[in-house]
A and B are shown apart, each in its own frame.
Chain A
Amino acid sequence: MKSHSMVMLRRNFKHIARNPVSVFNAVLMPIVVMLMFVYMFGDAFSVGVDYVDYATPGLMLLAVCYGLGATATAVNSDMTKGIINRFKVMDVSRGAVLTGHVVASVLTNLVAIAALLGVAFLLGFSPAANFLDWLGAVGVVVLLGFATGWLTIALGLAAKTPETAGLASVPLVMLPFFSSAIVPADKMGPGLKQFAQYQPFTPIIETLRGLLNGAPATGTLLAALGWCVGIAVVGYLWASSTFKKRA
């Protein structure tokens, strides 16, 4: 017997192939943002290093977040169009349809980040990372994609319409701008500065930045892993209970 999750994942891939606009957004938007910040504002920011080196790790996180809108909409349309109910009344392993969505979401993230890094290298990105650091960075990205993916699936399951599901994922897209992704937190105004310092995305970005500079700091790494696991657990539990309850 074929694994049900694999069947669902194949279905997600077919969806992406038939409706490429959503993935275009996920891949192109982070690149547009990168070109905008690096070319237009890059020289105006003094961050101590070459701006493209500073911004790329933050934009990697932004790329993960941009991919989530499509995931939320896709999950919600499965829910509201009765597809999920159809699977639920079949003798199909319960989590398969959600697992398919999460894996498709993470893979989309990886494609978007690969494209983004390609453009970053063209712009002169010169990381000091060795192979192990790169491996670590990919690991953090996958973990982040997985964690925010589960949270987004919960949002998608709970929303009434695909439009509100898309809207529900907007905070996740906005949050990176209020972190150390674009400019260091200590250059921000009071209030925003504290918010940026303590919000979950900042340690994750700092971890990526550290790994790509070849000098990861253990403290931020632990904070990043903690946040990722926390978000994943909350997202997973919320998604599972909504999946069970909503008929």
Chain B
Amino acid sequence: MTDLAITASGLRKAYHDKTVLDGIDLEVEAGTIFSLLGPNGAGKTTTVNVLTTLAKADGGNVRVAGHDLATEAKAVRAAIGVTGQFAAVDELLTGQENLQLMVDLNRRARKQSVADLLERFELTDAARKPASTYSGGMRRKLDLAMTLVGNPRIIFLDEPTTGLDPRSRRTMWTIIRDLVADGVTIFLTTQYLEEADQLADRIAVLDQGRLVAEGTADQLKRRIPGTHVRLRFTTAAELDAAARVLAESTKDDEALVLRVPGDGGTKSLRSLLDRLDEYALSAAEFSVHTPDLDDVFLALTGHATEVSAK
């Protein structure tokens, strides 16, 4: 039997008369990374707020670390660590004092963990400087270090890399992977498809308060149409002509792009190019496209993500 760190069934939450979460079911295995993926406004932060006892659910059953969220909130709080969407560090205190504050407030924390955490997150040099002087990446690291005081076994990370430069994002990913290697369970929200693809054992796609899909990155990718060839033309007339010749294709008039399904092999490519030649058509640009999570999202929700994975 697998050990479940988080279970939720029929989770609902509304603010005033606006439904934000409309019946969410989740199961997160202990020691894995679970990613909740969705665009801005999908309900990711609300989900984290409810699961971490910040907001009360209007309906549904949730157990976190084996404790019922509704009746044992205090026990849940003692078992989890939370890093919110915006680095919640005390700017007037130094990095060291921020960590010391967490140690003073935490029953299970050991005294020496401050030095250890500073070392581990490469903050030792900046330890005596006020957090207000830290860069965005350093703040996130300090924030996460503060979350780790007391060794929580379940960690919630709400968009941990939003607004970080690529290098800091890589660093954060490495830190997250190391945590899981130590047996910690991670519940991660992100709007970056690449991030979920890179890190998560399982991904749930959240859209307008509902889970529209759940599975591994590969399972999700398999749910959508396969490889296709993209042809971009310079004029609408050429695009239309090509669309008539290649009956199985779909065209995008705005981008002057034609998508032709195919397996990406040389044989089918040659026959495709031969057909274009036959009608004296030439594309300005040609690319073979294998599906990524962007396509998954588009296929599952019927609309594109607001922020691309780039």
Q: In the complex, which residues 67-103 of chain A have their Cβ closer than 8 Å to any Cβ of chain B?
A: 81-83, 85-92
* One of B97-105, B186-194, B243-251, B282-290 at the interface: B97-105
A87-B105, A90-B106, A247-B54 in contact; A11/B90 too (CB < 8 A)? yes
Contacts of B101 in A (CB 8 A): 7, 11
Q: For the complex, is A2 an interface residue (Cβ under 8 Å from B)?
A: yes
Q: For the complex, is A15 an interface residue (Cβ under 8 Å from B)?
A: yes
**Cβ contact within 8 Å between B88 and A91:** no
**Cβ contact within 8 Å between B88 and A81:** yes
Contact of A89 among B77, B86, B87, B91 (CB under 8 A): B77
Q: For the complex, is A160 an interface residue (Cβ under 8 Å from B)?
A: no
State how many angstroms separate the Cβ of A247 from the closest Cβ of chain B: 4
**Cβ contact within 8 Å between A90 and B55:** no
State how many angstroms separate the Cβ of A58 from the closest Cβ of chain B: 33
- A83 and B78 alpha carbons, distance in the complex (Å): 17
We find that the number of chain B residues with CB closer than 8 angstroms to chain A is 27
- A85 and B48 alpha carbons, distance in the complex (Å): 12
Contacts of B87 in A (CB 8 A): 82
**Cβ contact within 8 Å between B130 and A18:** yes
- A166 and B95 alpha carbons, distance in the complex (Å): 27
- A92 and B78 alpha carbons, distance in the complex (Å): 9
Contacts of B93 in A (CB 8 A): 11, 14, 18
Q: For the complex, is A193 an interface residue (Cβ under 8 Å from B)?
A: no
Q: In the complex, which residues 92-149 of chain B have their Cβ closer than 8 Å to any Cβ of chain A?
A: 92-93, 97, 101-102, 104-107, 130, 146
**Cβ contact within 8 Å between B146 and A89:** no
**Cβ contact within 8 Å between A1 and B130:** no
* A-B Cβ contacts below 8 A, count: 55
The 8 A CB mask of A130-150 against B (1 = contact, 0 = none) is 000000000000000000000
Contacts of B90 in A (CB 8 A): 11, 83
A82-B84, A86-B82 in contact; A91/B77 too (CB < 8 A)? yes
With most chain B CB atoms within 10 A of its CB, the pick from A19, A82, A87 is A82
State how many angstroms separate the Cβ of A49 from the closest Cβ of chain B: 44
- A1 and B78 alpha carbons, distance in the complex (Å): 15
A14-B97, A89-B77 in contact; A2/B104 too (CB < 8 A)? yes
Contacts of A89 in B (CB 8 A): 52-54, 77, 80, 82
Q: For the complex, is B61 an interface residue (Cβ under 8 Å from A)?
A: no
- A86 and B105 alpha carbons, distance in the complex (Å): 11
**Cβ contact within 8 Å between B92 and A91:** no
**Cβ contact within 8 Å between A91 and B78:** yes
Contacts of A18 in B (CB 8 A): 92-93, 130
Contacts of B82 in A (CB 8 A): 86, 89
**Cβ contact within 8 Å between A82 and B105:** no
Contacts of A92 in B (CB 8 A): 105
State how many angstroms separate the Cβ of A211 from the closest Cβ of chain B: 37
Q: For the complex, is B49 an interface residue (Cβ under 8 Å from A)?
A: yes
Q: For the complex, is B74 an interface residue (Cβ under 8 Å from A)?
A: yes
**Cβ contact within 8 Å between B105 and A247:** no
A7-B101, A82-B84 in contact; A19/B92 too (CB < 8 A)? yes
Contacts of A86 in B (CB 8 A): 82, 84, 88, 146
- A82 and B84 alpha carbons, distance in the complex (Å): 8
**Cβ contact within 8 Å between B86 and A81:** yes
The 8 A CB mask of A157-196 against B (1 = contact, 0 = none) is 0000000000000000000000000000000000000000
- A247 and B78 alpha carbons, distance in the complex (Å): 19
Q: Which residue of chain B has the shortest Cβ distance to A11 in the bound complex?
A: B101
**Cβ contact within 8 Å between B80 and A4:** no
- A90 and B104 alpha carbons, distance in the complex (Å): 12
Residues of A at the B interface (CB closer than 8 Å) are 1-2, 4, 7, 11, 14-15, 18-19, 81-83, 85-92, 247
Residues of B at the A interface (CB closer than 8 Å) are 49, 52-55, 74, 77-78, 80, 82, 84, 86-88, 90-93, 97, 101-102, 104-107, 130, 146
In addition to A14-B92, A85-B54, 12 A-B residue pairs with Cβ atoms within 8 Å of each other are: A1-B107, A11-B90, A11-B93, A18-B93, A19-B92, A85-B88, A86-B88, A88-B53, A88-B54, A89-B52, A89-B80, A247-B54
A selection of 19 A-B contacts at a CB cut-off of 8 Å is A11-B93, A11-B101, A14-B92, A14-B93, A18-B130, A81-B86, A82-B87, A82-B88, A83-B90, A86-B82, A86-B146, A88-B53, A89-B77, A91-B77, A91-B78, A91-B106, A91-B107, A92-B105, A247-B55
